[in-house]
Amino acid sequence: MATVGELTASYGNFLVPVLAPRSGVCTVCKTSVLPGYHTCYQCWDHTRNLSGTADVVAPIALSVKGGQWAHELSSYKNSPSMSARGSLALRIGAVLWRWLDAHEPCLRQGAGVAGFSLVLPVPSTTGRADHPLPRILRDIVKLTADRTAELLAPNPRYPPGSREPGDDRFLVNGDLRGRPVLLVDDQWTSGARAQSAAAAVKLAGSGPVAVVVLGRHFGTDWSRADLREAAESYYQAARGQGWDWSTCCLCADAAAHQ
């Protein structure tokens, strides 16, 4: 049986870190923003359209369009080969395990809690019945196995694949009152799904909510020149920083890079 260290060893070669908040970085989802902006448009939009949002969001790595991590985060669900899906689930689970082992304390600190007694996968809204993420959290990642529960279900009122944020996008089945929640998702594109899930658990009376996502969708192919330049300079800074398992976007020394 391969160890977490062995399963994740090659990831240091291609994972691109997510920058810690500073000028040019969204304080919520940590993507690139124009200088002078506190958050990206979508994170701002969520605060207008949702009654509550996550207390802290940590994407593990950039999911760069056309890159290896983006490819894996799609293939672990979509590959036609069952054995390819299985081995990717194992490796992606190992990445999450290794990252949580080092940085769950950063999430606890960001949310201001002593621990997360509940780990909830954010359900797919594309109508997929057998999503591998809950299985990864229950069966592969030992750190989350005993805390994982599937208490969220997509509200059928929303069409499959909708990117609209809403307090009622997810229905909550279970008693969350007062319990700090760690939401886990594979990809953050607009963040509408994860933030709608955060709103739903908070409306159900949960304690503070943290979100960890495996990949923060990232592209530099903006048609607007200023956005493209901001994304390119972010990407260069992230590549320059390089991958380091002991650093995340919450604990990286942002001041050192300013």
Run of H or E residues at 172: strand 170-172
Q: How far is the CB of 26 from Zn ion (least distance, A)?
A: 3
* Contact pick of 90, 149, 237, 251 for Zn ion (by CB under 5 A): 251
Q: Which is nearer to Zn ion, 60 or 92 (CB)?
A: 60
Q: How far is the CB of 236 from Zn ion (least distance, A)?
A: 19
Q: Is 20 left (phi over 0), alpha (psi -120 to 50) or beta?
A: beta
Tell me, residue by residue from 22 to 41, as one string, x for binding to Zn ion by CB under 5 A and - for no binding.
Answer: ----x-xx----------x-
143 in contact with Zn ion (CB under 5 A)? no
Q: Does 248 bind Zn ion (CB under 5 A)?
A: yes
Do 233 and 218 form a contact (C-beta atoms < 8 A)? no
Question: Is the Cβ of residue 88 or residue 209 nearer to Zn ion in the bound state?
Answer: 209
d(Cα 149, Cα 137) in Å, to the nearest integer? 9
171 binding Zn ion? (CB under 5 A):
no
SS3 state of residue 35: coil
Q: Give the count of beta carbons closer than 10 Å to the beta carbon of residue 251.
A: 16
70 binds Zn ion (CB under 5 A): no
Residue of 43, 88, 118, 141 interacting with Zn ion (CB under 5 A):
43
Determine, following the binding rule CB under 5 A, whether residue 107 of this chain makes contact with Zn ion.
Answer: no
Secondary structure E strands in 26-80:
56-64
The C-alpha atoms of residue 214 and residue 222 are separated, in whole angstroms, by: 23
Binding site for Zn ion (CB under 5 A): 26, 28-29, 40, 43, 103, 106, 248, 250-251
